[in-house]
Amino acid sequence: MSPPSPVAQRQPVLAARGIHQRFGGVHALRGIDLELFPGEVLALVGDNGAGKSTLLKILSGNNRPTSGEVLVEGRAHEFKNPAEASAAGIATVYQDLALALDLDVVENMFLGREVSVRGAGRLTGHLDRALMAKRTREALDRVHIRIPDIEARCVDLSGGQRQAVAIARAVTWCDKVLLLDEPTAALGVEQQQEVLNLITSIRERLDLAIVLVSHQLSHVLEVADRIAVLRQGRIVRVFDRDEATSSSLVAAITGLTEGDEE
């Protein structure tokens, strides 16, 4: 008998058990079982309406499942909102990034978490700009994000730089799981590659578990360790990186046998 795989011997940092989601008469998710481990990128792929975004919203605390449970490090959670998911160590970056474009990089990194100057042992009400700038630079350097001027307004950054800021902010405030919803959408080729490099850097340097939702199969094949294929609300197959190809993914997504689409 062959020894168990390394994944089989580890405890998942995030797990979904028997997740169902109904919206009226629509059965959007049908018994989803999924595990995510520290230091891996798990991609979710599937056609439009397959259930990828619905599952991501449940994991991030934006939606509550009709039935089933979400576990973080073996403990069941019933997230009522994203703040509860964040408190459990889960951060999400959506396509719209949720950046305040008129604010600079430092202000966006600490948006809602501003640090005030202390005087005589109490908060003065004045922001500690120097400390926030120092921590911003440290956070960017930690995952090799190069933004020369962190006092630049985000509206003046490239699309790739904005995505990098949003991801850096997320990993600064979470310590277990990073959920990415189409992070390369609407970016140019060069900027897309920058984001893919960033995902790889985060996995290697921070040992975070990453869920990547993407329609770009070439991107998935480049950075994912495992690839879960959703079709009509079910996970129909989970590929290891070494066994997945574009044609095998398309076949699983569409329900066709490899070669039928040719």
Q: For helices 129-142 and 159-173, what crossing angle results, to 10°?
A: 100
pLDDT band at 142 (very low <50, low <70, confident <90, very high): confident
Residue 40 pLDDT: 96
pLDDT band at 166 (very low <50, low <70, confident <90, very high): very high
Percent of the chain scoring above 90 in pLDDT: 73
Domains observed in the chain: 10-97+170-254 (3.40.50.300)
Mean pLDDT of 175-188: 91
pLDDT at 190 over 50: yes
Percent of the chain scoring above 70 in pLDDT: 91
Residues near 138 by beta carbon (within 8 Å), at least 6 away in sequence:
none
Residue 6 pLDDT: 46
Q: In what order do the strands lie in the sheet with 14-23?
A: 26-36, 14-23, 67-72, 75-77
172, 109 contact by CB (below 8 A): yes
| Residue 125, Cβ density class (10 Å: 0-12 exposed, 13-18 middle, ≥19 buried) | exposed
Residue 9 pLDDT: 58
| Helical (H) or strand (E) element with 60 | none
Residue 5 pLDDT: 46
- Which of 245, 206, 108, 248 has the alpha carbon at shortest distance from 166? 108
Question: Residue 21 CA to chain centroid, in angstroms?
Answer: 20
- 224-252 pLDDT, tens digit each: 999 999 999 999 999 999 999 999 999 99
Q: What is the mean pLDDT of the chain?
A: 90
